[in-house]
A and B are shown apart, each in its own frame.
Chain A
Amino acid sequence: MIRDTATLLGRSLRHIARSPDTIITTAIMPVAFMLLFVYVFGGAIRTGSDSYVNYQLPGILLITIASGIAYTAYRLFLDLQSGIFERFQSMPIARSAVLWAHVLTSLIANLISLVVVVLVALVMGFRSGANFWAWLGAAGILVLFTLALTWIAVIPGLTAKSVDGASAFSYPLIFLPFISSAFVPTDSMPGPVRAFAEHQPATAIVNTIRDLFAQESVGNGVWIALGWCLGVLLVAYVLATVTYRRKIA
């Protein structure tokens, strides 16, 4: 199974290498949001932190992943459309290899996009004194978040009837960080909105990454963030696997 997955992963990575625009377009929107928030709104937002670039970067990274996984659904959908999916299914290869190749491709493509966004943030003045372990922790949470969202993306990728349908699911995910602590402190929000913002996954994840970058204690928030990532990952994985089994049965 590992061998088949590696072969198919090589194929998908060639796709990305030959159309690097998917990585660029994934990074463009988050970078545009970052410019907008830092240079337009940022001056008016009181966050209690010295640097607004530092404050908003974790939220931007989540938006990057949410827009990147739309391409995962898109690539899977195209494989089904073109008939090459059926060719693979009629061959003596591990049944799950086709899905895992797409999932790993999604992970690699998103990590590249994240690096691009972080580089732009560095140019805009983002600085962190975080040590290696803090960076590793932040990267680990982003990897888990990417995997969770990727397994969500597999479901519309397998079931969509049109290209638009395959990527539309990502819009609410892209907007989730806006109703969180990603760009403004939650205590400035009215009651019900604040209640939602403080109990949704983006806030826990954003706060944890922000604390890691700022070399502050992450406290209990890290467990809530990990709980959300692993919980969503598990549920999405099970649902995607069931959808896949139904598809190939």
Chain B
Amino acid sequence: MTLRQPSMLAGMSGEAIRVHGLEKSFKELRVLRGVEFEVVKGSIFALLGSNGAGKTTVVKILSTLLKADGGAAQVNGFDVGTQAAEVRKSISLTGQFAAVDEILTGRENLVLVARLRHLEGAGAIADALLERFSLSEAGGRRVATYSGGMRRRLDIAMSLIGEPPVIFLDEPTAGLDPEGRIEVWAAVKELAKGGTTVLLTTQYLDEAEQLADRIAILHEGRILVNGTLQELKRLLPAAEVEYVEKQPTLEDVFLSLVGSRK
């Protein structure tokens, strides 16, 4: 029961990611059983699912780290199986655990990635990103001394170097405190404003609700539903009007007490 608006089938030029009948097994375990979805250019697409649903496997196949057993996937118009090098030029991956070098400083991490992408002026690129992600002060310190939120911000900053048109964020806020999550959310929204296509995986429902233009629910290796938040909400019976006292959530209380930075 895939929900699709006719306008979403506009054609190849409109889609940054196309996944068709994707299958992957690890020995006997069938992790992906025919996954299908498309992501429109410049949008944020959330792949929502519980642990073990296959989210990370999808991201690994799309970022050329794993080979699919069946089906096809294109990123930025390139096939992930046969045009892996072109795909790698089009993407950036931020994996489940902040993939930063702890022994290097924040700035050195950024310079490293800029050099590996063969960019001119690696130092200036690093400084600009440190500024943008409020890491200028910490830039000269070793990453081992950073908080979880700072590592994640650095991780995302590293993914932006070279301005790849498609970015994969695999559980970008896993293990972060509420402030760290809000920092990361702001960074992701910033990205999409600049025209970057973002595919993010998450198990947090509010994260998908906050960030995504479209949400697909991945369950036991298949996409159960795919649509905008409004479309997904319509799947349930119409809301009944009830009068309830508006209680602050624990998150509201926590953030107002500790004083959120944003």
Question: Can you list 25 A-B pairs with a CB-CB distance of less than 8 A?
Answer: A3-B118, A4-B116, A7-B112, A7-B116, A8-B116, A11-B101, A11-B112, A15-B103, A83-B95, A83-B97, A83-B99, A86-B65, A86-B93, A87-B95, A88-B116, A89-B65, A90-B64, A90-B91, A90-B92, A90-B93, A91-B113, A91-B116, A92-B89, A93-B116, A248-B65
Give per-residue flags for B80-103: 1 if the beta carbon is below 8 A from chain A beta carbons, else 0: 000001001101110111111111
The listed residue with most B CB atoms (<10 A of its CB), out of A3, A11, A89, A92, is: A92
- Asked if residues A86 and B117 are in contact (CB atoms below 8 Å), the reply is no
Q: Roughly how many angstroms separate A199 CA and B174 CA in the complex, as a whole number?
A: 56
A249 in the interface (beta carbon within 8 A)? yes
- Given A11-B112, A14-B108, A92-B117, answer yes or no on A83-B98 (Cβ-Cβ < 8 Å): yes
How many Cβ-Cβ contacts under 8 Å join chain A to chain B? 59
> Does any Cβ of B come within 8 Å of A19's Cβ?
yes
Known A18-B103, A92-B85; 10 more pairs at CB < 8 Å:
A3-B118, A11-B101, A14-B104, A83-B99, A86-B99, A90-B63, A90-B64, A90-B92, A91-B88, A92-B89
A49 within 8 A of partner (CB): no
B67 at the interface (CB under 8 A from A): yes
**A interface secondary structure, majority:** helix
* Distance from B73 Cβ to chain A, minimum over Cβ atoms (Å): 14
Which residues of B are found within 8 Å of A93, using beta-carbon distances? 116
The residue on B at minimum CB distance from A7 is: B115
B residues contacting A by CB (< 8 A) are 63-65, 67, 85, 88-89, 91-93, 95-104, 108, 112-113, 115-118, 142, 158
A77-96 interface bits toward B, Cβ cutoff 8 Å, 1 = contact, 0 = none: 00000111011111111000
The answer to whether A84 and B88 touch (CB under 8 A), given A3-B118, A7-B112, is no
Cα A89 to Cα B104 in complex, Å, equals 19
Inter-chain CA distance A19–B93, complex, in Å, is 29
Given contacts A3-B118, A90-B88, contact A14 B98 (CB under 8 A): no
A4-40 CB mask vs B (1 if < 8 Å, else 0) is 1001100100110011000000000000000000000
The 5 closest A-B pairs by CB, nearest first: A83-B99, A90-B93, A87-B99, A92-B88, A92-B89
Across the interface, do B158 and A87 meet the contact criterion of CB distance under 8 Å?
yes
B102 to chain A: closest residue by CB: A82
Q: Nearest chain-A residue to B66 (Cβ)?
A: A249
A76 to B137, CA, bound (A): 30
- Contacting pair A91 B117 (CB below 8 A): yes
In the complex the two chains form, is B104's CB within 8 Å of A11's CB? yes
A87 to B164, CA, bound (A): 14
B25 to chain A, nearest CB (A): 15
Q: Is the CB of A82 within 8 A of B64?
A: no
Which residues of the partner chain A approach B116 to less than 8 Å between Cβ atoms? Answer: 4, 7-8, 88, 91, 93
Question: Within the assembled complex, what's the spacing in Å between the Cα atoms of A18 and B63?
Answer: 32
CB distance from B93 to the nearest CB of A (A): 4
From B93, B97, B116, B117, name the one whose CB has the most chain A CB atoms within 10 angstroms: B116
- Interface flags for A137-153 (1: CB within 8 Å of B; 0: not) read 00000000000000000
**Chain A, residue nearest B97 (CB):** A83
Task: Select B99's contact among A15, A84, A249, beta carbons within 8 Å.
Answer: A84
Task: Tell me, in angstroms, the Cα distance from A90 to B108 when the chains sit together.
Answer: 19
Question: Cα distance A15–B109 when bound, in Å?
Answer: 12
What is the distance, in angstroms, from B69's C-beta to the closest C-beta of chain A?
12
Contact flag A82-B97 (CB < 8 Å), given A14-B108, A88-B116, A90-B63: yes
Contacts of A88 in B (CB 8 A): 116
List A contacts of B67 (CB < 8 A): 249
